[in-house]
Amino acid sequence: MLEMLGFHPSQLIIQIVAFACLYFLLKKVLYGPIVRVLDERAQRIGADRDEAAALRAAAATTQAELEQRLGNIESEARDRMQVAEREARAAREQMLAEARAEREKLVAAGIADLRREREKLLTELRDLVADLSMAAAAKIVERELDVNAHRALIDDIVDHGVK
């Protein structure tokens, strides 16, 4: 039947043997090195993927550490701001207390000055009233007066003072 198709069995066997020799020769010379190159390349790609995964993991770890440090820095900044705020309030309260104490001292000194002035004025007023009384009594004693003359004399003394 193969002869009818134009194939001779001997030629078929020779072609099969030639194909097998060509296959083994190509496998040894061509496919072997190509497969080796492809395997090496696959290994390099695998190693690069592993390295990239390791770098991604390291980057994620570094990012987590940086975020934690940033959180710590923010927390520390908040704490420092609260401390500074408390210190400012304390300083303000201290300054207010000092100002109140100074005000109280000034008020007390002013009150003391006013009391001294008042006492001085009261003393002068008493002396003046005593002088007026003495002058009025002296004038009354000098002359006997009736009630109207007595009033006129007192009004004159009050209006013009003692001479």
Residue 59 within any structural domain of the chain = yes
Residue 3 counted as domain residue: no
Confirm whether 77 is domain-assigned: yes
Question: Please, which pLDDT band fits residue 1 given cuts at 50, 70 and 90?
Answer: low
Give the total residue count for the chain.
163
Domain membership flag for residue 117:
yes
Looking at the domain assignment, is residue 1 inside a domain? no
Do the beta carbons of residue 157 and residue 137 sit within 8 Å? no
Structural domain contains residue 123: yes
Tokens of 163: 């001479």
Q: How many domains in the chain?
A: 1
**pLDDT of 48-74, one tens digit each?**
999 999 999 999 999 999 999 999 999
Residue 56 placed within a domain: yes
What range does the domain containing 104 cover?
8-160
In single-letter form, the type of residue at position 24 comes to F
Residue 2: inside a domain: no
pTM of full prediction above 0.85: no
Do residues 154 and 136 make contact, with C-beta atoms less than 8 angstroms apart? Answer: yes
